[in-house]
Each structure stands twice: as structure tokens, then as C-alpha cells.
Amino acid sequence: MITDIWSSFLHIVRDEVGSRVVETWFKAVSFHQWDAVNKCVYLEAPNAFVKNWIQNNYIDLIKVHLGRLLHVEKPEIIFIDDGTKVCSAPAEITIDSISSPLVPVNVKKNNTSQQVTKNALIKPSTMQGGSHVNSAYTFDTFVVGPTNSLAYAAAYAITEKPGSLYNPLFIYGGSGLGKTHLLHAIGNAIKERQPNSIILYQTADRFVNEFISAIRFDKIHKFQAKYHLVDVLLIDDIQFIANKEQTQEAFFHIFNTLYESHKQIVFSSDTTPHTLQGMAERLRSRLAWGLVTDIHVPHLETKIAILKKKAKVSQVELCDEVAYFIAERVTSNIRELEGALVRVMAFASLTNQIITLDLARKVLRAEQKSSAPVDFNRIIRILHRYYPHDLQALCSKDRNKDVAFARHVAMFLMKKLTDKSLRDIGQFLGGRNHATVVHAINKVEAQRKTDVDFQYRINTIESEIVG
């Protein structure tokens, strides 16, 4: 009975506050006991951090919905520890209380108190997975051109004086243009010059998952301490912590600790800090504290140079006319450019042929004929990489500013890249009417004319969808 009630409660909460809250907080809690006489619910939390967060933010929600399921009005909610005793309420653990790894922290475990200090912690470089820096991405293998020269120069400069020049460094640009390459190159160069440095490359998605896991399994102290020990933190695709309030709160304190300790921080994103949607203002401003630089789609000459260097690394001779043909044909990004070259080289190797212009035409034209047409689902799938809202959110009645904005962009792209009617677009996105779709398209068109960064983002998304 208790299991069924808690399961029903989770479904209700998911509908009211969203699946992210349920997965992050309520899934870590279990319904331990119901005292019908005293109208008291005993919930078991994995640690004081989770207990206090839920008590501070969701206690009224619990009382209302559990009360309805148990047929009582606002039952008393008591959190217990290890399924046996009531949690001590006065001791509240917050992010602030563990903001510095230099300060000893008392952690309760198996009814014994142990002191955790900096020397007792496992360094990121020795943990499973290591620094996550890919040794294949270096400055030597990065092709510099007019559209990425500033980003390259800034990235290289900070390797000489990490933490004192351009801190933080924020690199933005479309998908597949070399941002990740530069982050890894920074890590490799600093590691070569300062072998004892603790360097950590982390995607924003992996950071979010690690934070959630730390909360659920009572490892929040280790999570904080791990990041506080880092000398160089490289965060890729920072836009993916948008609309994740608890993650942003944790990262905010990590950023402050590293910055005040003069540790180097580098970010990559698909847009500028000031145009990041769903980001807390205080965090957004910190992202722009140092140098903000961009990477654009490379010019034809740069793309040819990239192809030739890639072929040379693979010990393949690539003539000028083949390089020119591939570079002219692929207009989206470097990742697609290198992918086209790899497919041509693979076909030549498997069929024991020399790479010629005719062979390259044959391979790439065959791919073009067999490529999937642009449809609504493809647009939503690729759009989700830039805006953290899935199809369910876009089809919902949610009028949140960020969700509505992403919905408008989806409508604009659907109209521009497909032959579907306005009615079809409205029906696909939650049964909206013709006027709503027209309003959305006009709004996006107007912003494109006045916002250069937004226009660049839309062009990048379009290229990826049709590419």
C-alpha cells in the first residue's frame, strides 16, 4: 500500500513541477511509514542535504498531495535517517558550508565521525575516468583561419599563464566548429608545461549527471571537494545547464572558489553569455567576466587546409581538386567536413581505389540522394541540442518565456524548411491555431533583423538540419 501511494504521489508531482525535480530530489526519497493514529508520514532521505532542500522548497507540496492520497488534511512530515531515527533538524548542510576544500568537514557515516581534509581526498587526475582530456586534440592539429584566429590565440595564451590571463575564457560558436578541440588543446598544453596540474575536462551534461548522483548517493561533499581541487576546469557546452536551478547553484559556488583561487576556467557554448536562455543572471555575468571570443564557419581556404591536414594525419594524399570539391560541397561545419573526407577515404580504401575527383563525387552524391528529407521530428531533435526543451514541452500549454521562445523558433524553422502548411505546424505543436504560428514566425523574423547573435544561431541550426 505504501509503495502504491508513493508511486501515485510521484506521478502527481511530476505533472505539477516536472520530471527533473522528481528525478533529482523525490526519487532519492522513500516512503518509510504511515502513522494513521498521529497522522504522521515518515520519509527516508539519503542525507541531510536532500532532506533540507525538500523541506525548504517542497514541504507544502508533500503535505497537500500525500494528504489527499491518505485522506487526511496536511499530515505531519518527519524525515528519518537510515530508516531508524529522526534526522536532526538543526544541522543544515548547504553548498556554502562546503565551499572550501581547505576547511575540514565532519561527515557522519555508520554512526562515526570522520574528518575529511584536502590531503584525504582523491584528486580528479587519479579518479576513474581521469581528466577526460583527449590527447589527440592539440594546438598543432588545429587549423587556424580568419574565423577562429582570435579564439585560437586566446586559448594558446592562457596556457602560458593559467589563471592570470583571460579568466574565465568563454568560446562560443556553432556546433562542430572546433570549440571542443580548443578546450582539449588547452588541457594538453598546460599538462605538458605543468605536469603536476590537476586538469579536468567536463561536458555540461556529465556535470549535471554527476551532481544528481552526488545528491542521491550522499556524496555531495566529495563532489564539491573534487572540483575545488582542480587547477584547470574546462566545461564544454555550458548552455546545457540552462533551466537547472540546483545545478547552477552548485556550479556558481564552484566557479567562485576556483576564480578566487586564480584557477583557470574555460567554457564553450553555442551562444554568448548574455544570450544564454534559462541561466541565472549572477552566473551569466560571471561567464562574461574574462574574455569572450567566437568561432565562425571557416572560409573555403581554411576548409581546404583542414582537409589536407586531416588527410596527412591519416597518411593519405589528397589532391587540390578533391579538397576543393569537398570543401565547397560541405557548408555546415568542420565536423561534417571531416566526416565527408572520412567517408571518401573509407570508400577508396575498401574498394582499393585512388582518391580522385570522380570517386569523391560518386560517394558524396550517392549520400545526398539517400539522405533523409527534413521533417518536423528532425527539426525538433536538432533544435533540442540548442534549446533544452523536448517535444513534450513544446507541445504543452506552458507559457514560460524560454519554452515559448523555443516553440517560436521551431515554428519558424518548420515553415522555412518544409512544405507543410501553417495548420500542420500548429497541429503538430499542441494543436495551436493559424494565428499563433504566424505570430511566432513574425516574431522570429523581427529578432533576426536586429540580433546578430540570434541570426547566427538560427543559421547554424538550419545548416545542421539540412546538412
| C-beta separation of 414 from 376 below 8 A | yes
CATH of domain 376-466: 1.10.1750.10
Whether 2-86 shares its CATH topology with 376-466 is answered no
Q: Is 58 exposed, middle or buried (0-12, 13-18, 19+ CB in 10 A)?
A: middle
Q: What average pLDDT does the segment 170-188 reach?
A: 92
Take residue 229 and report the three cell numbers written for it: 581541487
What is 300-370's CATH topology? Answer: Helicase, Ruva Protein; domain 3 (1.10.8)
Q: What is the pLDDT of residue 380?
A: 92
Q: What average pLDDT does the segment 250-261 reach?
A: 93
Rounded Cα distance between 432 and 423, Å, is: 8
Q: Nearest-5° angle of CA 16, CA 21, CA 24?
A: 155
Q: What average pLDDT does the segment 363-384 reach?
A: 75
Q: What average pLDDT does the segment 215-226 reach?
A: 86
Query: Which residue is it, cell 590571463?
Result: 165
Note the pTM of the prediction, 2 decimals.
Answer: 0.58
Pairing of strands 264-269, 232-236: parallel
Classify residue 408 by its DSSP letter: H
38 or 304, greater pLDDT:
304
Q: What is the pLDDT of residue 119?
A: 36
Tell me which residue of 200, 199, 280 sits closest to 244, measured CA to CA.
Answer: 280
Q: What average pLDDT does the segment 325-337 reach?
A: 84
Indicate the pLDDT class of residue 467, thresholds 50, 70 and 90: low
Tell me which residue of 198, 172, 169, 435 sits closest to 290, measured CA to CA.
Answer: 169
Architecture of the domain whose range is 2-86: 2-Layer Sandwich (3.30)
SS3 129: coil
Which residues, in sequence order, are CB contacts of 279 under 8 Å at separation 6+? Answer: 239, 241, 242, 248, 273, 287
Rounded Cα distance between 120 and 125, Å, is: 14
- In percent, the amount of the chain with pLDDT more than 70 equals 87
Q: What is the pLDDT of residue 405?
A: 93
Rounded Cα distance between 197 and 187, Å, is: 10
Q: What average pLDDT does the segment 387-412 reach?
A: 91
Q: What is the pLDDT of residue 372?
A: 52
Preceding peptide of 90 cis, ω within 30°: no
257 alpha carbon, distance to own chain's centre: 21
Which residues, in sequence order, are CB contacts of 286 under 8 Å at separation 6+? Answer: 168, 252, 255, 256, 259
User: What DSSP string runs through 349-384?
Assistant: HHTT----HHHHHHHHHHHHHHSPPP-HHHHHHHHT
Q: What average pLDDT does the segment 374-392 reach?
A: 88
Indicate the pLDDT class of residue 404, thresholds 50, 70 and 90: very high
Question: Which range (46-55, 100-109, 222-231, 361-370) has the least confidence?
Answer: 100-109
Considering only the top CATH level, what class is 149-295?
alpha beta
Rounded Cα distance between 437 and 446, Å, is: 14
Which residues, in sequence order, are CB contacts of 271 under 8 Å at separation 6+? Answer: 172, 239, 453, 457
Q: What is the pLDDT of residue 34?
A: 86
Classify residue 260 by its DSSP letter: H
Question: What b/e readout covers 284-302, taking b as 16+ CB neighbours within 10 angstroms?
Answer: bebbeebbbbbbebbeeeb
Across the chain, what does the average pLDDT equal?
82
Rounded Cα distance between 173 and 182, Å, is: 12
Q: How confident is the model over 75-131, as pLDDT tens digits? A: 889 888 644 444 433 333 333 333 333 333 333 333 333 333 333 344 444 444 467
Tell me which residue of 223, 255, 292, 291 sits closest to 47, measured CA to CA.
Answer: 223
Q: What is the pLDDT of residue 435?
A: 85
SS3 229: coil
Pairing of strands 105-109, 199-203: unpaired
Q: How confident is the model over 416-450, as pLDDT tens digits? A: 888 788 888 999 999 998 889 999 999 998 898 88
Q: What average pLDDT does the segment 249-253 reach?
A: 92
The structural domains of the chain, with segments of one domain joined by +, span: 2-86, 149-295, 300-370, 376-466
Q: What average pLDDT does the segment 290-314 reach?
A: 90
Which residues, in sequence order, are CB contacts of 459 under 8 Å at separation 6+? Answer: none
Q: What is the dihedral of CA 287, 261, 132, 175, to 10 degrees?
A: 10
Report CA-CA distances (Å) from 315 to 158, 318, 322, 412.
32, 9, 16, 44
Q: What average pLDDT does the segment 325-347 reach?
A: 87
Q: Which of 32-36, 117-121, 263-267 ranks highest by mean pLDDT?
A: 263-267
Question: Which range (3-7, 193-197, 252-256, 310-314) has the least confidence?
Answer: 3-7
Any alpha helices (H) in 18-120, and if so which ranges?
Answer: 19-24, 48-57, 59-70
Q: What is the pLDDT of residue 90?
A: 33
- In percent, the amount of the chain with pLDDT more than 90 equals 33
Whether residue 309 is predicted with pLDDT greater than 80 in this model: the reply is: yes
Q: Nearest-5° angle of CA 222, CA 247, CA 219?
A: 20
58 or 369, greater pLDDT:
58
